[in-house]
A = this chain, B = another copy of it.
Amino acid sequence: MSDLYDVEAVRREFPILARQIGAYPLTYLDSANTSQKPQAVVDAIADHYLSHNANVARAMHVLGAEATAAFEGARTAVADFIGASRSEEVVFTKNASEALNLAAHTLGSRLGPGDEVVVSVMEHHSNIVPWQLACERTGATLRWFDITDEGRLDIEGAVRDGLINSRTKVVSLTWVSNVLGTVNPVAQVAAMAHSVGAVMVVDGSQGVPQLPTDVADLGCDMLAFTGHKICGPTGIGVLWGSYDLLESLPPFLGGGEMIEVVRMTGSTYAPPPYRFEAGTQPIAQAVGLHAAIRYVSALGMDQIAAHEHDLTAYALEGMSHVRGLRILGPTEAVDRGGAISFTLDGVHPHDVMQLLDSRGVAIRGGHHCARPLHDRLGVQSSCRASVYLYTTHDEIDRLVEALDYTGAFFSGRLATTGGVR
């Protein structure tokens, strides 16, 4: 598999990867935070602005028709990419967070006291806070899945506690954890949700960039993801929803283009997806996302997943030899994405990050917008290295080397022995 995958050819498409950080080559291992962009995506955006820029839908002249075709073409491409049955099921947002807020606001209109919303303790803040706010507004109750000691979704415990029951109206779960790397059994949870008549929302922010996506296989009613993590631009996200569900929901933001008829005394609203797209949309960003989808599709999502799987296994093995390093989440590359969070004994994540950065290795330190999960794991914060389609085995070696150096630096081993291990 990975002999077919020519990672060096891939890297040539990403000019930023040739950067030097001081004396070191850039080793970008922060792709779960945001991915780098291939030249093709940057060029598509520039070409749009320089040759076809106009507002969409409302502008009917030649440029307007070109921009509209480009924007709606992006919608169709997204629909195809995730196996949606109609392009009208694809709503553009500014990021995954807005997509999840859209879901929480519109589904929230059906909630009341006594109703329950279920998330998990491993969610990103963007899949917690919108539901907390919706519950505050409506009097509904927020409940959550716990995790097992291995860092997997605790389905058994949930069944035992009757977490999903007749009061459950919405279940919102991440497909792949941005901290633990865990791939959740979304279809199984969706079946549990549907068996009690609840709506199943999936946060695909980490999953869609890493794994082949088919909304029918996921079994969900809504799927959120974000452009910037899948080689696309910032400023664009997606909420997919089944058409019948979207059609039954009230508007979210009000403004131009989401309306049918506006009178000062009251307004009526357009059908999906336009009902949920107020104001001038991220047009050039949709064009960029389309180019990104073309790019990853040409590589093949299964090839990308295999490459990541291979690298994750290699990294887990390499990191297991670093003194004082503890991995949060599954330590085997089974049902596991490419984010690896860890702590290093006696060294704060900020300091790890800083030392690594001084050797060109870019990782993230902090709680990765998942503070409840860190609470649950009993750590205040952690480091995270995350791979993507352009990551090499060499880069993993550099990470491991830099981690060894860091441990030695802070324990004082370095000063006294001059060596590292």
Contacts and interface: CB of A to CB of B under 8 A. Distances in A.
Given A33-B58, A97-B279, A235-B284, 14 more contacts: A19-B51, A26-B63, A34-B54, A61-B357, A94-B98, A101-B278, A104-B254, A129-B255, A226-B279, A234-B280, A234-B284, A235-B282, A235-B283, A263-B375
Nearest to A19: B51
A112 interface: no
Interface string A372-407: 100100000000000000000000000000000000
A82 to B, nearest CB: 20
Contacts of A101: 253-255, 278
A28 interface: yes
Contact of A262 (B129, B233, B364, B366): B129
B97 A94 contact: no
B55 A279 contact: no
A49 interface: yes
A61 B26 CA distance: 11
B30 A55 contact: yes
6 contacts: A94-B94, A94-B98, A95-B279, A97-B278, A128-B262, A142-B264
A259 interface: yes
Contacts of A226: 279-280
A144 interface: yes
Given A42-B50, A101-B253, A235-B282, A30 B61 contact: yes
A25 B396 CA distance: 54
Nearest to A362: B61
Given A16-B53, A357-B62, A100 B255 contact: yes
Contact of A264 (B36, B53, B234, B372): B372
Interface of A: 15-16, 19, 21, 26, 28, 30, 33-34, 36-37, 39, 41-42, 45-46, 49-55, 58-64, 94-98, 100-101, 104, 121, 124-126, 128-130, 132-133, 142, 144, 226, 228, 233-237, 251, 253-259, 261-264, 266-267, 278-285, 350, 353-354, 356-357, 361-366, 368-369, 371-372, 375
A55 B235 CA distance: 12
Contacts of A368: 58
A251 to B, nearest CB: 7
Contact of A30 (B59, B251, B366): B59
Contact of A369 (B33, B42, B257): B257
Contacts of A19: 51, 63
B259 A129 contact: yes
Contact of A130 (B104, B237, B255, B371): B255
A125 B364 CA distance: 42
Q: Which 6 A-B pairs have the closest CB atoms?
A: A97-B279, A129-B254, A126-B255, A235-B235, A97-B255, A235-B282
Contacts of A142: 264
A284 to B, nearest CB: 5
B280 A228 contact: yes
A34 B266 contact: no
B233 A284 contact: yes
A365 B264 contact: no
A347 to B, nearest CB: 15
Most chain B Cβ neighbours within 10 Å, of A30, A55, A126, A235: A235
A127 to B, nearest CB: 8
A104 to B, nearest CB: 8
B16 A126 contact: no
B37 A55 contact: no
